[in-house]
Amino acid sequence: MKKLLLITALSLMLLPLLAQINMPRPDFNPYSLKSSLPNLNMSHSMGFQVGTSSRGSGYYLSRYTNHLSYKLSTKMDLDVDLNFVNFGSMNTGSSFSLNDDNDTKLLPEFSLRYQPKENMSFELRMGQGFMNQTTFNRW
């Protein structure tokens, strides 16, 4: 009984030390690209905005961005952003109602950076914005 208690106590004391060792962890994610594309990094972001005025008009805008970063070589990087934007206007006067101007846009952006030397770099960048084509003055 004393041996079992001693082994349990030693195990509990050594457990925090084992947790600090950087052991390899298996990747069970079937959608993981790390094994086939180790130079690819992917991140996501989401945002939502709403605004209203005292006159009873307002707007809404939601955005989802998928950011891909790929290291082509030690001197060249490629970044791609795919922005999915949904926007429209609303009336908030006496009763809340959405207008029929709901729209969704895909706004791609990319940049290609080349740095042949430490103090010299070239960048090619393409970005796209959108303008709401309505003549309605929201404010």
Q: What pLDDT digit, counting tens, does each position of 42-69 carry?
A: 899 999 998 888 788 888 889 999 999 9
Query: What CA–CA distance (Å, rounded) separates 87 from 91?
Result: 14
Rounded mean pLDDT of 33-38? 65
Query: What CA–CA distance (Å, rounded) separates 120 from 106?
Result: 33
Q: Does residue 36 surpass a pLDDT of 80?
A: no
The percentage of the chain sitting over the pLDDT mark of 70, rounded to a whole number, equals 75
Q: Is the pTM of this model over 0.85?
A: no
User: 77, 112 in Cβ contact below 8 A?
Assistant: yes
- How do beta strands 76-91 and 97-98 pair? antiparallel
Structure confidence at residue 46 (pLDDT): 94
Query: What CA–CA distance (Å, rounded) separates 130 from 107?
Result: 8
pLDDT digits (tens, 9 = 90+) for 82-135: 999 998 888 877 777 777 778 888 889 999 999 999 899 999 999 876 455 555
